[in-house]
Amino acid sequence: MPPIIFDTPFGFSIDLSFWQDFFSMSISQQLKGFFVFIIWWAVALILFNFALQKWVACRQKKYVSDWQWSVLAVDVPALYVQSPKAVEQIFVNLSGAAFSPKLFDKYWTGKIPKWFSFEIISIEGYIQFLVRTESEFRDLVEAAIYAQYPEAEITEVEDYVGNIPDMFPNETHEIAGAEFTLLQNEAYPIRTYPHFEYKISKDVVFSDPMAAILENFSRIGSGENFWMQLVVKPADNSWKKNGIDLVKKIISNKKESKAPSIVSVVGGLPEVALKTAIQIWNWEFETEKKEETSGKVSDLTPGMKQVVEAIEEKISKLGFYSRLRVLYSAKKEVFNPRKCLAGLVGSLNQFYIADRNGLAAQKAGGSDLVLSFKQRKLKFFKSSKVKAVNEPYVLNIEELATLWHFPLPDVKTPLVQKSSAKRGEPPTNLPVDSPDSLPTKDEGITDDLPVVPPEELPYA
């Protein structure tokens, strides 16, 4: 059969011999060729996507390598009373560092938004609150802290991560740690600091959750290090759509249903029907459609109403992509991670609510709470990366302020570094003498001191 060539009025021809040969094949050959064509395209797309991700990662690594980090030690006065709401406002100010890279910045220069790390460390029992920031946003961090804690002392210190070796295992030190993830969908909130207020008679008492966390840091002794790191990066409002969809799903009482796959449908068709379907190229498979009923909030149980209110409360505030991790390192002769790691995991359970969310340690292997850090995870900790193996989860500013805030004065954890004096500026109306107003020798001021007889000196 001669090839079919279609001449266009634009000066070029279209060869239809491929389709001529394709339709002359049998049904089985057509199906085989179709799947081969699809598979090759799928492989090409997968390889392209893999190469693109590697390229972007390489450009981002080069961009991040030029960053200059500052580690700021923050000390607040010992008797300074301020609720975690103040730290919540600090995170609000840090949301100003949000940045959405354009296509050129993302795929060529590798620009990514900068992040912050809020840390609590215990070096041989000495506890310190730290904030790690890229030098560009150091002024932003200091201004945010001073706005809520005017008497705080902020000092740049050396990076403490150099206190332990970079390679494990080694002959001198052992290491253990854990990364924490959310138990449920990130739209569900964890228990936050307003839920730690208890009314006793006429007074409202705040049971600071930081007391249970800091108690584990006070167990550290000579030759030991225990660090907690809360890495955050400002998020845009796209994460809130997940919460909105979840609320709609709860109200309508929908259940996730998966449509039958093509493979399962094809496997259940008789051979004759399958060939007929392929011949007429009719790939429309009818699926059962369930009637959707529009739910009402009034139809929900009291518990589910509270869940919906909690989700709406979470998405009403600013969010940050977050990562919480802890690390314990010590010399081999004193290595005992259970005394602090297990206790910290337990103290984080106070933020768990059964019908909402909580924090859980990701198991590196086995069922032991003391998790051995892999070399790669140690690298993530030392570089304070918010995005590691898994994607970060979103916590709003209230949840972040619950996990990291300065303890109230009634928290009696020893060795927590606090400023010993109040920080203040001189009053604006303080009188200052000018050089012209000082007395001179002509006005009766001489360099000679008065001479006092020895018998008139005290204790002579």
Q: Is 70 helix (H, G, I), strand (E, B) or coil?
A: strand
User: Looking at the domain assignment, is residue 351 inside a domain?
Assistant: yes
Task: Identify the domain containing residue 151 by its residue range.
Answer: 67-245+301-403
| Average predicted confidence (pLDDT) for the chain | 78
Strongest mean pLDDT among 25-29, 39-43, 187-191, 360-364: 187-191
User: Looking at the domain assignment, is residue 294 inside a domain?
Assistant: no
> What pLDDT does residue 246 have?
92
> What pLDDT does residue 231 have?
93
End position of a domain, from candidates 65, 82, 101:
65
For the beta carbon of residue 253, count every other beta carbon within 10 angstroms. 11
Are 26 and 170 found together in one domain? no
Confidence bin at 157 (pLDDT 50/70/90): very high
Could you give the CA distance from residue 241 to residue 234 in angstroms, rounded to a whole number?
16
Going by C-alpha positions, the residue among 345, 324, 329 that lies closest to residue 179 is: 324
CATH at 203: 3.40.462
Strands, DSSP E only, in 294-423?
Answer: 319-331, 359-361, 393-396
In sequence order, the 6+-apart residues with CB closer than 8 A to the CB of 239 are 186, 315, 319, 394
Are 89 and 153 found together in one domain? yes
Confidence bin at 106 (pLDDT 50/70/90): confident
End position of a domain, from candidates 376, 403, 430:
403
Lowest mean pLDDT among 22-31, 73-82, 123-132, 252-261: 252-261
Q: Tokens 């981002």 map to which residue?
A: 60
Residue 125 Ramachandran class (φ > 0 left, ψ -120 to 50 alpha, else beta): left
Q: Name the token pair of 40.
A: 């090759």
What's the average model confidence in pLDDT over 293-320? 85
Are 57 and 77 found together in one domain? no
Are 330 and 354 found together in one domain? yes
> What pLDDT does residue 257 have?
44
What's the average model confidence in pLDDT over 404-411? 82
Residue 193 has pLDDT above 70, yes or no: yes
Q: What is the DSSP letter of 371?
A: P
Could you give the CA distance from residue 6 to residue 182 in angstroms, rounded to a whole number?
61
From the centroid of its chain, how far is CA 279? 54
pLDDT tens digits for 133-142?
999 999 999 9
User: Looking at the domain assignment, is residue 149 inside a domain?
Assistant: yes
Are 49 and 71 found together in one domain? no
pLDDT tens digits for 44-102?
888 998 898 888 888 888 888 888 999 999 998 877 778 899 999 999 999 988 888 88
Q: Is 27 helix (H, G, I), strand (E, B) or coil?
A: helix
Are 145 and 21 found together in one domain? no
Are 15 and 73 found together in one domain? no
Could you give the CA distance from residue 27 to residue 199 in angstroms, rounded to a whole number?
77
- Residue 310, phi then psi, degrees to nearest 5: -65, -40
> What pLDDT does residue 456 have?
57
Confidence bin at 187 (pLDDT 50/70/90): very high
Are 44 and 78 found together in one domain? no
Residue 146 has pLDDT above 90, yes or no: yes
Could you give the CA distance from residue 166 to residue 52 in angstroms, rounded to a whole number?
30
User: Looking at the domain assignment, is residue 272 inside a domain?
Assistant: no
> What pLDDT does residue 102 have?
85
> What pLDDT does residue 368 have?
45
Could you give the CA distance from residue 381 to residue 375 in angstroms, rounded to a whole number?
10
User: Looking at the domain assignment, is residue 280 inside a domain?
Assistant: no
Alpha helices in 65-207 (DSSP H): 85-94, 103-104, 138-148
> What pLDDT does residue 373 have?
52
What's the average model confidence in pLDDT over 13-23? 70
b or e along 118-139 (b: 16 or more beta carbons within 10 Å of the residue's beta carbon)?
A: bbbbbeeeebbbbbbbbeebbe
End position of a domain, from candidates 14, 47, 65:
65
Task: Count how many domains the chain has.
Answer: 2
Could you give the CA distance from residue 176 to residue 329 in angstroms, rounded to a whole number?
6
Per the DSSP assignment, residues forming a β-bridge with 61 are: none
User: Looking at the domain assignment, is residue 428 inside a domain?
Assistant: no
What's the average model confidence in pLDDT over 205-216? 88
Confidence bin at 21 (pLDDT 50/70/90): confident
What's the average model confidence in pLDDT over 345-356? 92
Are 35 and 74 found together in one domain? no
> What pLDDT does residue 213 have?
92
> What pLDDT does residue 419 have?
55
Going by C-alpha positions, the residue among 222, 217, 164, 219 that lies closest to residue 375 is: 164
User: Looking at the domain assignment, is residue 286 inside a domain?
Assistant: no
User: Looking at the domain assignment, is residue 13 inside a domain?
Assistant: yes
Higher per-residue confidence, 69 vs 299? 69
Are 390 and 367 found together in one domain? yes
> What pLDDT does residue 276 have?
54
Are 44 and 108 found together in one domain? no
Are 180 and 316 found together in one domain? yes
What's the average model confidence in pLDDT over 276-296? 49
